[in-house]
Amino acid sequence: MKADIKKKEFDQAEEKLADLMFFGLDYGIENLHADSAGTLIPIVVTEKEGERDLKRFVTERMEEGLKKGEQFLMNEKEARYGIVIYDGYLTVDGNKVDAVLVKGFDRQDEVGYIIGQRYSRKKDNTELEVIGNPAFIGNEEQMLK
């Protein structure tokens, strides 16, 4: 996050954006449950007039997929809302923990928001466990301009 981004709390986000972002967390966790390899391909969901459109960004490296998804969102000119869903990490008490992260944007807001949901996967099987509650991570530079 850049230092010049205005700081806003998550409860200041438009309710429809918050709903879309929580959908993104749920969808990301569902995808991880379904993939025993533990892979979450970066996903962009846009919403215009109540209609949602979902796109996956499959690349050789997940980081490239995330960048392509963000570039797609920055070039999107019609949607009111947009989110980027991806697999990442959160650091909690000095420990790095797997997390589904969602960056969310409302074209009529000056900032974006980031939320995350921690999870763990047992090494000996495919069982995935959600840890704690979703958390507000911070603000992000607006991508829907």
pLDDT at 125 exceeding the cut of 70:
no
The one-letter amino acid at 140: E
Which pLDDT does position 145 carry in this prediction? 87
**Burial of 141 from C-beta contacts in 10 A (0-12 / 13-18 / 19+):** middle
Q: What is the CA radius of gyration of the chain?
A: 15
**Burial of 37 from C-beta contacts in 10 A (0-12 / 13-18 / 19+):** exposed
pLDDT at 124 exceeding the cut of 80:
no
> How many domains, in total, are found in the chain?
1
**SS3 at position 123:** coil
3 inside domain: no
The one-letter amino acid at 113: Y
2 inside domain: no
Nearest one of 14, 34, 142 to 84, comparing CA atoms: 142
22 inside domain: yes
DSSP 18-67: HHHHHHHHHHHHHHHHH-TT-----EEEEEETTEEEEEE---SSHHHHHH
Token reading at 98: 């797997």
pLDDT digits (tens, 9 = 90+) for 13-35: 999 999 999 999 999 999 998 87
114 inside domain: yes
1 inside domain: no
pLDDT band for position 1 (cuts 50, 70, 90): very low
Which pLDDT does position 46 carry in this prediction? 98
- Mean pLDDT (the chain, rounded): 92
4 inside domain: no
Give the domain extent around 71: 10-141
